[in-house]
Amino acid sequence: MTTPAIPDPAPIALSHVSKTFGTVRALTDISFSVAAGETFGLIGPNGSGKTTLIRLLLGLGQPTSGSVRVLGFAMPDRRAARQIGYMTQASALYGELSVRENIQFFAALYGLHGRDLRARAAEVLALVDLADRAASPVQTLSGGMRQRVSLAVALVHRPRLLFLDEPTVGIDPELRHTFWDYFASLNAQGVTIVVSTHHLDEAARCHRLGLLRFGTLLAVDTPAALRAQSGQDDFEQAFLYFAQRPQEVA
């Protein structure tokens, strides 16, 4: 095999990344980096390029230009896969299989096996508070429960880096709160999180935010700094301020 990658100061580093599909520019000249243990929020309306950006970070495709480095690997690189957890927009589970079977299936794909696999599956089941529904087929669960299973699947192989694509779509405020508490405790363990959302109240809980619009990054900073810069208390107003500002400042 090859030599292990040199430890990168930042788990994620994008430099002048652009992506075009045919003649459509999905992303234009994106540069930012994310530090270990940080939660980085991608904020923007539908079609602003959040999912495209996350897919590039996951290694599901090649940037048209620029470089995407994840955990020290120039993406796409399969070697990063084992340390990455991904929670998709839809719950993305097998409806006929039970909660436990879904979790164990993905755990096995990530190389867990035997006692470790079973123990770790039980651990994440308890974490998302679904131990009592472990044997239920996923298709019998409510939407919120499915999102919890989806999170359990994303965490089962102890990833160092977690990508969450609108993780709280369609779940109730109480569960959303629980999720964010959990993300904070993962950060404390050194896990880096990239989360896309268009819930502006969730944005406040990220360490830093990237504001995306039409595939360009309007601004990258802490929630407090963004509010201060725009002179707006409300994120919705702040976002509008950056969106209407002349482009070259970004």
Q: Of the two residues 165 and 202, which places its CB atom closer to another protein in the complex? A: 165
> Least CB distance from residue 96 to another protein, whole Å?
4
Residue 69 neighbours by CB distance under 10 Å: 20
Nearer to another protein, 52 or 230 (CB): 52
Provide the minimum distance between the beta carbon of 18 and another protein in the complex, in angstroms, as a whole number: 12
Q: Single out the residue of 91, 93, 155 nearest to residue 122, CA to CA.
A: 155
- Taking the least distance from each CB to another protein, the nearer of 64 and 232 is 64
Non-local CB neighbours of 209 within 8 Å, separated by 6+ positions: 40, 41, 42, 43, 203, 219, 220, 221, 222, 223, 226
Least distance from another protein to the Cβ atom of residue 227, Å: 33
Binding site for another protein (CB under 8 A): 19, 21, 52, 55-56, 58-62, 76, 78, 81-82, 84, 86, 88-97, 101, 105-106, 108-111, 113, 137, 153
Residue 197 token pair: 């959302």
What are the structure tokens assigned to 108, written together? Answer: 């096995």
Report how far residue 210's alpha carbon sits from residue 228's, in angstroms, rounded to the nearest whole number.
15
Residue (106 or 180) nearer to another protein, CB? 106
Min CB(102)–another protein separation in Å? 9
Cα–Cα distance, 217 to 30 (Å, whole number)? 6
Question: Is 110 or 241 the residue whose CB approaches another protein more closely?
Answer: 110
Shortest approach of another protein to residue 53 CB, angstroms?
A: 10
